[in-house]
Amino acid sequence: MTLTTDTTHANADPTTRVRATPVEVSRHVTSEGTVRWTRCPTCGGLRMALTPDDPRTAPLVSGGHAPDCPDSP
């Protein structure tokens, strides 16, 4: 899947690529905060992100980067 910018605009560059938006698979609340699972629409890779309830705690992200996928985080 390749996404490009709108080429109808006079200054649009048809080679400019827009990153695909991850698809949310699941979101649920835990005792630590909110866990969100997303899937890359290009390669299918999964990513988990924990947003803690406590603002003093750093967010946690897990999921591999696919080197061949331009949309993989």
Q: Is residue 35 part of a domain?
A: yes
Q: Is residue 31 part of a domain?
A: yes
Q: Is residue 48 part of a domain?
A: yes
Residue 52, pLDDT score:
97
The boundaries of the domain holding residue 39 are 23-62
CA distance linking residue 26 with residue 29, whole number of Å: 10
Q: Is residue 54 part of a domain?
A: yes
CA distance linking residue 11 with residue 67, whole number of Å: 31
Q: Is residue 34 part of a domain?
A: yes
**Reported pTM:** 0.68
Number of independent structural domains in the chain? 1
Q: Is residue 56 part of a domain?
A: yes
List Cβ neighbours of 64 (8 Å cut-off, separation of 6 or more).
45, 72
Residue 16, pLDDT score:
73
pLDDT in tens, the chain (73 residues): 444 444 444 555 667 778 788 899 999 999 999 999 999 988 888 999 999 999 999 999 998 778 888 877 6
Strands 23-29 and 33-39: antiparallel
Q: Is residue 28 part of a domain?
A: yes
